[in-house]
Chains A and B, each alone.
Chain A
Amino acid sequence: MRRRRKDERLARVAHVVRDGRIETKDATTVLQALLEPGDRVCLEGNNQKQADFLSRSLAAVDPAFVHDLHLLISVIGRPEHIALFERGIASHVDFSYSGPQSLRLAQQVADGRVRVGAIHTYLELFARYFVDLTPDVALVAADEADADGNLYTGPNTEETPTICEATAFRDGIVIAQVNRLVERCTRVDIPGDWVDLVVVADKPYYIEPLFTRDPELIDDVQILMAMLVVRGIYERHRVRSLNHGIGFDTAAIELILPTYGERLGLRGEVCTHWVLNPHPTLIPAIESGWVRSVHCYGGELGMERYVAARSDVFFTGRDGSLRSNRAFCQAAGLYATDLFIGSTLQMDRDANSSTATLGRIAGFGGAPNLGSDPRGRRHSTQAWLEMTSSDEEVRRGRKIVVQLVETFQESGIPTFVERLDAVELGRGAGFPIAPVMIYGDDVTHVVTEEGIAYLYRARDLDERRAALAAIAGVTPIGLRASEPQTQDLRAAGVVAFPEDLGVRRNEANRTLLAARSVRELVQWSGGLYDPPKRFRSW
């Protein structure tokens, strides 16, 4: 029956489609004729890549004909996504992240124009495409299509294969916007069998360079915390495989491996296998011989030539360009890494963390997945086993999950709070549970500028709370730490201050960065890295 429905829909637009191709000017007409009210539409809005021609075309349909769509989307990132709700084209959404549109999304929800099914982590959302959220129609973006509908998605492959597979194999309709038509694709990332309709977009699909951090903006405090991580965690636990959440603090870690990490003799011993977007700030470590492999969620503008030239490190196709895949990368980050490290805006005394702030509905992207302990894991590494200590015959290890935060945010507001804003936010928005990014009981380490709390070593809840308070500085939670108890925790190795790790605060300065500007990253890459305009100062 699903197949018949599909055939009927395609028949409706047969008169404006030739050989599976829609003319650019007919995109909105086709969408309006093909879609039906209440359809589940998966729109490719990813972290980096956006099928923006299709989203703009969709936002231009007449809501009298197409309304109350159920939108499935990884990232609500474009203004026209919000327009879908405003115009009544879509009234229901399931998604993972909405950073740039989080304020407007909250307003739409408050105005009753859209209902949020749930906020998911990426892998979870993709999983539901195969269970109860299979798309009726998928709108995706690719670089190239050939006459058979084969698609080349290149470095920014991201979600496309996952979305297409779920849709195609349950008789949904896959429509792809492409930058250009070709005789023969550079390589086949999506087979033509999975694709129903192709349209050449009015301009190349939009990509956001989200993972580039200018080394000029890294400050001494971030470098101090990076030293603590390298010494107190990577070295101590011999972390070989890892994932860095994006931020200036993790960029600082990447940039001190060739200097501070080298001094500690760690090259080849730690940080060999990475699950990471192609961060330009990893270039010095790659060039210095630290990195054996990197698997990427998506691409990064400007890194294309560098990645192609480093095909021994990155996953690349026979054509030479990067092949990314968010679903597999998220699975890799969950099961196949020793460690995840990321940051947050708020943390409570049990190390629950959230970036949810009042007035915004943002979601968390991949963090809840990456920052969780996968209890299905069965293979052991030194780092994984070290997280638990048990004489039991039957035992398991545990993933290292690190939260890296300064005690105060730039605004002067404490990071450590009694109660997450997320609790009230969840209630106000009618969510069944508070939007927590990473749960405290998954967190093994917290690092601040004051030191490291080795929470995995705490014997009970009180000790965990005391360890966290010991590094919470002069926040209200930190001020409640008792000096004698802090000293005991230091002696027991549950808390470490910089001096306990042999890290001198006065060494924390920018001379430790292997590259201190975007220009120097270009030099490290031998001219292969082409920074986008906004990062150039020459």
Chain B
Amino acid sequence: MIETLTYEYPASQGVQQRAHVGVVASGNCEILLEPAADGSASIVVRTSVTGFGTTWQAVLKRFFARNPVAVRIEINDFGATPAVVALRLEQALESAL
């Protein structure tokens, strides 16, 4: 069973280019990040580890509160912990700026 979760947050900053980090391996995730035109951050998470919607929400909300960037993000997840997700998001953002 794959769970697909979507989130959206307000954004005020832009990014220069798209970025791709990570790999869909156990305990890890892949992130595709692209600039978005519409001044918001929209995220789609696809994960095979179901039932952690509230945790994803908390991680993403915190990240975009600290980094209000207008991006479209796809996360393909295979059980990454919040620590790994946060690190991958940081890595993706750094490559995109």
By a beta-carbon cutoff of 8 Å, the part of chain A in contact with chain B is 219-221, 224, 406-410, 412, 448-449, 473-474, 479, 505-506, 508
Instruction: Count how many chain B residues have C-beta atoms less than 8 Å from C-beta atoms of the other chain.
Output: 17
Q: Which residues of A sit under 8 angstroms from B62, Cβ to Cβ?
A: 474
Contacts A410-B27, A506-B94 known; A449 to B86 CB distance under 8 Å? yes
Residue of A nearest to B89 (CB): A505
In the bound complex, do residue B27 and residue A408 qualify as a contact, i.e. CB atoms below 8 Å apart?
A: no
Q: Which residues of B sit under 8 angstroms from A508, Cβ to Cβ?
A: 87
A501, chain B: closest CB distance, angstroms? 16
Contacts A505-B90, A506-B94 known; A221 to B59 CB distance under 8 Å? no
Cα–Cα, bound, A412→B3 (Å): 15
Q: Does B83 contact A (CB under 8 A)?
A: yes
Q: Which residues of A sit under 8 angstroms from B59, Cβ to Cβ?
A: 474
By a beta-carbon cutoff of 8 Å, the part of chain B in contact with chain A is 27, 49, 52, 55, 58-59, 62, 79, 81-84, 86-87, 90-91, 94
In the bound complex, do residue B58 and residue A474 qualify as a contact, i.e. CB atoms below 8 Å apart?
A: yes
Cα–Cα, bound, A506→B97 (Å): 13
Contacts A474-B58, A474-B62, A506-B94 known; A224 to B82 CB distance under 8 Å? no
In the bound complex, do residue B58 and residue A221 qualify as a contact, i.e. CB atoms below 8 Å apart?
A: no
In the bound complex, do residue A412 and residue B87 qualify as a contact, i.e. CB atoms below 8 Å apart?
A: no
Q: Which residues of B sit under 8 angstroms from A474, Cβ to Cβ?
A: 55, 58-59, 62, 82
B49, chain A: closest CB distance, angstroms? 7
Q: Which of A224, A412, A479, A506 contacts B81 (CB 8 A)?
A: A412
In the bound complex, do residue B82 and residue A473 qualify as a contact, i.e. CB atoms below 8 Å apart?
A: yes
Residue of A nearest to B56 (CB): A474
Interface secondary structure of A, over-half rule:
loop
Residue of A nearest to B84 (CB): A221
In the bound complex, do residue A412 and residue B52 qualify as a contact, i.e. CB atoms below 8 Å apart?
A: yes
Residue of A nearest to B88 (CB): A220
In the bound complex, do residue B82 and residue A407 qualify as a contact, i.e. CB atoms below 8 Å apart?
A: yes
In the bound complex, do residue B83 and residue A412 qualify as a contact, i.e. CB atoms below 8 Å apart?
A: no
In the bound complex, do residue A412 and residue B90 qualify as a contact, i.e. CB atoms below 8 Å apart?
A: no
Q: Which of B49, B58, B86, B91 contacts A412 (CB 8 A)?
A: B49
Q: Which of B49, B82, B87 contacts A505 (CB 8 A)?
A: B87
In the bound complex, do residue A406 and residue B81 qualify as a contact, i.e. CB atoms below 8 Å apart?
A: yes
Q: Which residues of B sit under 8 angstroms from A412, Cβ to Cβ?
A: 49, 52, 55, 79, 81
Q: Which 3 A-B pairs have the closest CB atoms?
A: A474-B58, A449-B83, A221-B83
Cα–Cα, bound, A386→B81 (Å): 35
**Could you jot down 16 A-B contacts, CB within 8 Å?**
A219-B84, A220-B84, A221-B81, A221-B83, A221-B84, A221-B87, A408-B55, A408-B82, A412-B55, A412-B81, A448-B83, A473-B82, A473-B83, A474-B82, A505-B87, A506-B91
Q: Which residues of B sit under 8 angstroms from A219, Cβ to Cβ?
A: 27, 84
